[in-house]
Amino acid sequence: MSTGKLTLDDVQKVARLARLALDDATLQRLTGELEAILGSVEKISQADVSGVEPMAHALPLHNVFREDIVTPSLPLEKVLQNAPESDGPFFKVPKILGADED
Amino acid sequence: MPLSSLISARDAIRDKRISSVELTREILDVIAQREPQIAAFNSVWADQALEQALAVDQGRRSGALAGVPIALKDNLCTSFGLTTCSSRMLENFRSPYDATVVKKLEAAGAVFVGKTNLDEFAMGSSTENSAFKVTRNPWDTSRVPGGSSGGSAAALAAGMCCAAIGSDTGGSIRQPASLCGLVGLKPTYGRVSRYGLVAFASSLDQIGPFGRTVADAALLLNVIAGHDPKDSTSVPAPVPDYLGELHQPVKNLRIGIAREYDLAAGVDPQVHAAVEAAKKKYQELGAELVDVSLPHTEYGIAAYYIIAPCEASSNLARYDGVHYGHRTKHAVKDIIDLVSRSRAEAFGPEVQRRIMIGTYALSHGYYNKFYVQAQRIRALIKKDFDEAFTKCDVILSPTSPTPAFKAGEKTADPLQMYLCDVFTVTCNIAGIAGISIPCGFTTGEKPLPIGLQLLGPAFSEERLLRIARMYEAATDWHKRRA
């Protein structure tokens, strides 16, 4: 991606990364909108953050452990009840091998 | 009159002045009358509600909320009915389990009247981003109820439930509470389990109550708060009885006034006047006003609109058209095509916009500039609050810079909509507690409610609610009905 003004190509690439098959008109509209929003939030670069550690969330929590005990899982029919397509105990998808890799 | 508050409804049922079935029928009648104009609900569960109510009347269910009809925001998983998030993506989604909050409410004897509309996946400040319907503000139906929990707020303000549950990621409980004349509480991050809340921005999301009064919010918090092994970010701190000392005024109360909030642009003059009057009221009640500084306030909105979309782009990656949710009917060449078409078809414009911003800000070459920088700002905002709270008990401000705006007024410009959140987002960024309470009305033919926000330190809900109650006890704003 270029580092200056956001281009249609940039937005197309982001859409591909985000797994959104957007049409040209939507990509055009988003180019303008993202330009404006990113331009506005870029304000954060003005803050003096020297010596400040990034904070991922506000809690003083790190890893939370529990006993390694097997507990019941959801029954299979519940797990599959919302699947658009399933086959026995499996989620069904079109062929995966040969799909393009990003 | 049982509808005047959640507590009075609960007491009326407890004292057998009304049965739960009678009250539930009354509420269902109000829904039948008002829902066509307000459009607050994605689903109304009349039959199940009456069954739950009957079980209370027959003594088969009991608890702190026995028999009172409440509404749930439609991003809380329920094993009954649908959980849609107001998205085409989840239009037919049936959750295989209940959110912990739903289980706790159920165990407390609550009656669920239905699930309320929201901005799609809770992304918005007006509920206009719902894929299904535009919810109207009961005080003036040409206006929005706020968002994203606009359906919950509108349902309660219109008397279509006795209380409601929402979620707040950047103001989504407090702002609609403000715009609809209600009490809305955003608990401390970790106070309430998020298990079964459909994830938007996991470091910011928190479930909380809407009530007509501060006591109603306190009662609901009693029920929903607490540690949950299913949510590792819920904190194993004891849950006090938030109703216990609620009516005891806080002595030597110090109310912080942040000078940066005074400089915030775009505050409506009537909102400003109402908040000034509220400060005076607190002084009359013996509080001292203290100047405090929150120097990084100006970066709040920007940091929020980086952190929230980044987390959203990651959280919403799960919608793949494979495991659940919408799948394209279009012929596809491979799995990537299937996923990409399904997502493009079923996510609305605001959700797509935020996924795109988040994906961009997390992508190679931009991660440090946006995401990491925003996390540093988060640390600074938290530090601002920590320092301010050494000088005061709570920080007072407007909840929303304006009263309810007209439907359609801000939909064309996403940035304008984002600015609605100027006073609310920093509370989520710092993980502290916040409440909005009614503090006045605009003048005019259709007076609109104005909300006062009080922010308190992490896990200060008991005190925060008492401080809010002091003001409520001295004013009548919360008694007006839409």
Task: List the catalytic residue out of B172, B178, B397, B460.
Answer: B172
Q: How confident is the model at residue A4 (pLDDT cuts 50, 70, 90)?
A: low
Q: Which of B88, B69, B97 is nearest to B13 (CA)?
A: B69
Task: Report which secondary-structure segment, H or E, holds A91.
Answer: strand A90-91
* Residue at a domain's end among B360, B380, B403: B360
* Residue at a domain's end among B339, B360, B381: B360
* Residue at a domain's end among B306, B338, B360: B360
Considering only A39-53, B176-190, B408-422, B427-441, which range has the smallest mean pLDDT? B408-422
For residue A69, list chain B residues with Cβ-Cβ distance below 8 A: none
For residue B415, list chain A residues with Cβ-Cβ distance below 8 A: 36-37, 40
Backbone angles phi, psi at B135, to 5 degrees: -80, 140
CA B366, B367, B368, B369 torsion-angle sign? positive
d(CA B163, CA B159): 9
In a domain, A62, yes or no: no
In a domain, A30, yes or no: yes
- pLDDT digits 0-9 by tens, B264-304: 778 999 999 999 999 999 999 999 999 999 999 999 999 99
Q: Tally the domains of chain B.
A: 2
Query: B300, B381 in Cβ contact below 8 A?
Result: yes
In a domain, B457, yes or no: no
- pLDDT digits 0-9 by tens, B205-247: 999 999 999 999 999 999 999 999 999 999 999 999 999 999 9
In a domain, B146, yes or no: yes
In a domain, A87, yes or no: no
Q: Are residues B68 and B190 in the same domain?
A: yes
* Surface of A (63-92) touching B: CB under 8 A: 64, 66, 74, 78-79, 81-85, 91
d(CA B201, CA B314): 9
Q: Are residues B245 and B302 in the same domain?
A: no
- pLDDT digits 0-9 by tens, B341-362: 999 999 999 999 999 999 999 9
The average pLDDT across B164-181 equals 98
Q: Are residues B213 and B103 in the same domain?
A: yes
In a domain, B284, yes or no: no
Tell me what ipTM this predicted complex has: 0.93
Amino acid in position B96: P
* Residue B206, beta-bridge partner list: B168
pLDDT of residue A100: 54
Tokens of A14: 């982001």
CATH number at residue B63: 3.90.1300.10
- pLDDT digits 0-9 by tens, B109-163: 999 999 999 999 999 999 999 999 999 999 999 999 999 999 999 999 999 999 9
d(CA B98, CA B78): 4
Query: Do you find a cis peptide bond into B4, omega within 30 degrees of 0?
Result: no
d(CA B328, CA A101): 21
Burial category of B453 from C-beta neighbours within 10 Å (exposed 0-12, middle 13-18, buried 19 and up) = buried
Burial category of B254 from C-beta neighbours within 10 Å (exposed 0-12, middle 13-18, buried 19 and up) = middle
Q: Are residues B29 and B147 in the same domain?
A: yes
Q: Which of B285, B262, B283 is nearest to B272 (CA)?
A: B262
The answer to whether A17 contacts chain B (CB < 8 Å) is yes
Length of chain A: 102
Q: Are residues B27 and B166 in the same domain?
A: yes
Q: Tally the domains of chain A.
A: 1
pLDDT of residue A101: 52
Beta strands in B32-153 (DSSP E): 41-44, 69-73, 111-116
In a domain, B385, yes or no: no
Range of the domain at B356: 298-360
Range of the domain at A7: 1-44
B73 is catalytic: yes
